[in-house]
Chains A and B, each alone.
Chain A
Amino acid sequence: MSDVAPAASPMLNSVPPTSGQAAALERTWRDPPGLLGWISAVNHKTIGKRFISTAFAFFIAGGLFALAMRLQLAKPENGLMGPDLYNQLFTMHGSTMMFLFAVPVMQAVAVYLLPLMLGTRSVAFPRMNAFAYWIYLFGGLMLMTAFALDIGPDVGWFAYVPLSGPDYSPGKRADFWAQLITFTELSGLLEAIVIVTTVFKLRAPGMTLNRIPLFAWTMVVTAFMVMFAMPSVMLASTALIMDRLVGTHFYNPAEGGDVILWQHLFWFFGHPEVYFIFLPGLGFLSSIIPTFARRPIYGYTAMVLSVIATGFLSFGLWVHHMFATNLPDLGKSFFTAASLMIAIPSAVQIFCWLATLWTGRLRFRTPLYFALAFFVILVIGGMSGLMLASVPLDVQVHDTYFVVAHLHYVLLGGAVFPLFGAIYYWYPKFTGRLMGERLGRWNFWLFFIGFNVAFFPMHLLGLHGMPRRVYTYGAEMGWGTLNAVSTFGALLIAASVLCFLYNAWHSRSHGAVAGPNPWGGGTLEWATASPPPACNFEAIPVVHGRDPVWEAGAEPTHVAGLSVESREALVTTVLDAHPDKREAFPNPTPWPFVSAVATAVFFIGSIFTPWAVVWGTIPIGIATTIWFWPKRRETAAHLALERAP
Chain B
Amino acid sequence: MSTSAIGGGAARPAGTTREASMQRRTEGQQAVRRVGAALDVAALPSVGFSHRSLMWWGTLGLMAIEGTAFALAIAIYFFFQVHAERWPYTTPPPALVWGTLNTVILIVSMLPNHLAKRAAERYDRRGVWMWLGLCLLLALLFLGVRWLEFSALNVRWDTDAYGSIVWTLLGLHTVHLVTDTWDSAVLEALFFTGPLEGRRYVDVSENAMYWYFVVWSWLPIYAVVYLAPR
Which chain A residues numbered 196 to 249 have a C-beta less than 8 Å away from chain B? 196-197, 200-202, 205, 227-228, 230-232, 234-235, 239, 242-243, 246-249
Task: Give which listed residue, A196, A570, A628, contacts B41 with CB less than 8 A.
Answer: A570
Instruction: Please give the distance in Å from B33's CB to the nearest CB on chain A.
Output: 9
Whether A639 pairs with B3 at a CB distance below 8 angstroms is yes
Whether A581 pairs with B160 at a CB distance below 8 angstroms is no
Determine the residue in chain B with the shortest Cβ distance to A269.
Answer: B72
Whether B46 pairs with A584 at a CB distance below 8 angstroms is yes
Determine the residue in chain A with the shortest Cβ distance to B185.
Answer: A625
How many inter-chain residue pairs (CB < 8 Å) link A and B?
Answer: 254
Interface-facing stretch out of A91-99, A254-262, A525-533: A254-262
Whether B186 pairs with A556 at a CB distance below 8 angstroms is no
Q: Within 8 Å CB of B36, what residues of A?
A: 15, 555-556
Determine the residue in chain B with the shortest Cβ distance to A554.
Answer: B37
Q: How many chain A residues touch the partner (CB < 8 A)?
A: 83
Task: Give which listed residue, B1, B62, B164, B194, contacts A250 with CB less than 8 A.
Answer: B164
Q: Within 8 Å CB of B159, what residues of A?
A: 255
Residue A640 lies at the interface, judged by CB distance under 8 Å to chain B:
yes
Whether B61 pairs with A2 at a CB distance below 8 angstroms is no
Whether A125 pairs with B196 at a CB distance below 8 angstroms is no
Q: Within 8 Å CB of B47, what residues of A?
A: 581, 642-645
Determine the residue in chain A with the shortest Cβ distance to B156.
Answer: A247
Residue A562 lies at the interface, judged by CB distance under 8 Å to chain B:
yes
Residue B64 lies at the interface, judged by CB distance under 8 Å to chain A:
yes
Residue A10 lies at the interface, judged by CB distance under 8 Å to chain B:
yes
Q: Within 8 Å CB of A478, what residues of B?
A: none
Q: How far does the alpha carbon of A249 sit from the alpha carbon of B57 in the complex, in Å? A: 37
Whether B41 pairs with A560 at a CB distance below 8 angstroms is yes
Q: A557-B37, A558-B37, A578-B29 are in contact. Are A255 and B197 (CB under 8 A)?
A: no
Task: Give which listed residue, B1, B4, B123, B164, contacts A248 with CB less than 8 A.
Answer: B164
Whether B161 pairs with A256 at a CB distance below 8 angstroms is yes
Q: A201-B57, A258-B80 are in contact. Are A6 and B3 (CB under 8 A)?
A: yes
Task: Give which listed residue, A125, A250, A578, A629, contacts B58 with CB less than 8 A.
Answer: A125
Which chain B residues numbered 67 to 115 have a C-beta less than 8 Å away from chain A? 68-69, 72-73, 76, 79-80, 83-84, 89
0/1 interface trace, chain A 559-576, chain B, CB 8 Å (1 if under): 111100000001100100
Residue A124 lies at the interface, judged by CB distance under 8 Å to chain B:
yes
Q: Within 8 Å CB of B4, what residues of A?
A: 642-644
Interface-facing stretch out of A339-347, A498-506, A630-638: A630-638
Q: Within 8 Å CB of A582, what residues of B?
A: 41, 44-46
Which chain B residues numbered 129 to 172 have a C-beta less than 8 Å away from chain A? 157-165, 167-168
Q: Within 8 Å CB of A584, what residues of B?
A: 46, 199
Residue B18 lies at the interface, judged by CB distance under 8 Å to chain A:
no
Whether B38 pairs with A556 at a CB distance below 8 angstroms is yes
Whether B1 pairs with A257 at a CB distance below 8 angstroms is no
Q: How far does the alpha carbon of A631 sit from the alpha carbon of B197 in the complex, in Å? A: 11
Whether B38 pairs with A249 at a CB distance below 8 angstroms is no
0/1 interface trace, chain B 1-21, chain A, CB 8 Å (1 if under): 111111111001000000000
Whether A639 pairs with B197 at a CB distance below 8 angstroms is yes
Which chain A residues numbered 238 to 297 have a C-beta less than 8 Å away from chain B? 239, 242-243, 246-250, 252, 255-258, 261, 264-265, 268
Q: How far does the alpha carbon of A641 sit from the alpha carbon of B3 in the complex, in Å? A: 7
Q: A247-B157, A644-B12, A645-B28 are in contact. Are A639 and B39 (CB under 8 A)?
A: no
Q: How far does the alpha carbon of A189 sit from the alpha carbon of B67 in the complex, in Å? A: 13
Determine the residue in chain B with the shortest Cβ distance to A558.
Answer: B38
Residue A1 lies at the interface, judged by CB distance under 8 Å to chain B:
yes
Whether B44 pairs with A580 at a CB distance below 8 angstroms is yes
Residue A596 lies at the interface, judged by CB distance under 8 Å to chain B:
no
Q: How far does the alpha carbon of A631 sit from the alpha carbon of B195 in the complex, in Å? A: 7
Whether B68 pairs with A256 at a CB distance below 8 angstroms is no
Residue B48 lies at the interface, judged by CB distance under 8 Å to chain A:
yes
Q: Within 8 Å CB of A128, what residues of B?
A: 58
Whether B69 pairs with A639 at a CB distance below 8 angstroms is no
Task: Give which listed residue, B6, B38, B199, contacts A557 with CB less than 8 A.
Answer: B38
Instruction: Please give the distance in Å from A273's CB to the nearest CB on chain B.
Output: 15
Q: Within 8 Å CB of B51, what residues of A?
A: 574
Q: Within 8 Å CB of A639, what residues of B?
A: 3, 5, 7-8, 197
Whether A257 pairs with B164 at a CB distance below 8 angstroms is yes
Residue B42 lies at the interface, judged by CB distance under 8 Å to chain A:
yes
Instruction: Please give the distance in Å from B63's CB to the nearest CB on chain A.
Output: 10
Instruction: Please give the distance in Å from A10's CB to the nearest CB on chain B.
Output: 7
Q: What are 25 pairs between A and B in contact, CB < 8 Å? A: A1-B9, A4-B196, A14-B38, A124-B57, A193-B61, A202-B54, A231-B68, A247-B157, A248-B163, A258-B79, A261-B80, A556-B34, A556-B36, A556-B39, A559-B39, A561-B44, A571-B54, A579-B32, A580-B44, A580-B48, A582-B41, A638-B199, A639-B5, A642-B198, A643-B45
Given contacts A15-B37, A231-B69, 19 further A-B contacts (CB under 8 A): A1-B8, A2-B9, A202-B54, A231-B65, A570-B41, A574-B51, A578-B29, A580-B44, A581-B28, A581-B48, A625-B182, A625-B186, A635-B7, A638-B7, A638-B197, A638-B199, A642-B3, A642-B6, A643-B3
Residues of A within 8 A of B (CB): 1-4, 6, 9-10, 12, 14-15, 124-125, 128, 189, 192-193, 196-197, 200-202, 205, 227-228, 230-232, 234-235, 239, 242-243, 246-250, 252, 255-258, 261, 264-265, 268, 539, 542, 555-562, 570-571, 574, 578-584, 621, 625, 628-632, 635-636, 638-645
List of 6 A-B pairs having minimum Cβ-Cβ separation, nearest first: A2-B8, A561-B42, A15-B38, A256-B161, A193-B61, A3-B194
